Amino acid sequence: MERLVVNFGMFETLFLGVLGIYIGDFLRAKFPVLKKYCLPAAVVGGTLIAIITMILYYANILEPEFDFDTVNSLFYCIFFAASGAAASMALLKKGGILVVIFAVLAAVLATLQNALALGVGSALGVHPLIAMMTGSIPMTGGHGNAASFAPIAVEAGQSAAMEVAIAAATFGLIAGSLLGGPFGNFLVRKYHFEDTVLDNASRSLNETVETVMMNKANVISAMYMLVLACGIGQGVFLLLQKTGQNIPIHVCCMLGGILVRVVLDKTGRAKDDLLEAIDTVGEFSLGLFVSMSIVSMKLWQLAGLGFQLIVLLMAQVVLILIFVYFLTFRLLGKNYDAAVMAVGHLGFGTGAVPVSMTTMKTVCDKYRYSKLAFFVVPVIGGFISNLTNALIITKFLDIATKMGMGM
């Protein structure tokens, strides 16, 4: 029986994304172990829906096609604008040196990912260009880089490169989503970063906690400001394109958010209630983006990966875990902020900045917020790493091409 191709439009995909969040919240409430190990609701519910669609695919019932690019880009950009608006001048100054250290670490990890891919691939008899499709192209680069660089290998005669790269990026998305929260929880517990006064999990029901009240006007103002920030970002994006600079649009929107925050600080309008409203809109946008990204995963693409490629991808996961634990966490200060940033590095090191943000947020929801992490990680994962990774990939693709000629 031929599968029925079902096209889920923008609103149907949004519906499934929200449904995934509700399902995730329900399961987290029913099974405390999910909260204990900081597994995000969007990841839990979204993965369950993705598994259901995979079952329907293998049962030859339907093959889903999702239309989510436009709306996902919107929520992604709004979230990054909110991240930029959260960055005060004091935070920008404090995070400066950490940005430099983190940028170097991200470049080193990307280099090691490609070296590992070529080394393990060579030992397993995998063509170097195919092995590269399991390195920093899908891992640090995600689905975007997979779609951009895989055609180079296809043109060189490796017809399976695109399929392998997309499947590897999907594998990385799942791995980062499932490992980030538990890894962060492990670091906080192992190094006793809990704070009995500040941590959400430590507060008793009878304790009076100072809260910031929001009103409708603040939420509306926050939404307007973030739309303005995205408009500024689009303007910067177009100007940079004219100069030949290909900077991701979401990074430009983050810059727009930073400029909005500068104006708020200069005019004395950066009040706690407004900043809380901006953070709320950003959190809403992030949750929808991540949930839709996971809901729309085609898990059956992973079935096409052979044993050799599974070994290559598992080796990448082991490398990333070792790297962020022994290097990222320690070199960024070996404190609570460093632990949250290590979670972020694990997230975009396996393929997606949104995974970084949602896993960091889940850890922070259990413990406490890290302004530093939510500034540094998007700058590196969303901006600087895109540039350095592209240069590193280009060099290693040349090496892989030469190695392939000798086979």
In 31-79 the beta strands, taken as DSSP E runs, fall at 62-66
Flag whether 209 is in a domain: no
Flag whether 365 is in a domain: yes
Helix, coil or strand: residue 305? coil
CA 344 to chain centre: 8
Flag whether 232 is in a domain: yes
Flag whether 148 is in a domain: yes
How many CB atoms within 10 Å of residue 252?
26
Flag whether 115 is in a domain: yes
- Cα separation, 297 vs 335, in Å, equals 35
| Tens digit of pLDDT at every position of the chain (407 positions) | 678 999 999 899 999 999 999 999 999 999 999 999 999 999 999 999 999 999 999 999 999 999 877 888 899 899 889 988 987 777 777 777 898 999 999 999 999 999 999 999 999 999 999 999 999 999 998 887 888 899 999 998 898 899 899 899 989 989 999 999 999 999 999 999 998 777 776 554 344 444 556 688 999 999 999 999 999 999 999 998 888 876 778 878 988 998 999 999 999 988 888 999 998 999 899 889 888 988 988 888 787 678 899 999 999 999 999 999 999 999 999 999 999 999 999 999 997 787 898 899 999 999 998 988 988 887 787 668 877 888 999 999 999 999 988 66
Domain housing 396: 4-202+214-405
pTM: predicted TM-score of the whole model, two decimal places:
0.84
Helices 161-190 and 41-58 meet at what angle, rounded to 10?
150
Flag whether 358 is in a domain: yes
- Cα separation, 363 vs 206, in Å, equals 23
Asked whether 140 and 168 are in contact (CB, 8 A), the reply is no
Give which of 136, 169, 184 is closest to 328, Cα–Cα.
184
Token digits for 147?
A: 């779609």
Phi, psi for residue 115 in degrees, rounded to 5: -65, -40
Flag whether 10 is in a domain: yes
Asked whether 349 and 377 are in contact (CB, 8 A), the reply is no
Give how many domains the chain has, as a whole number.
1
Flag whether 208 is in a domain: no
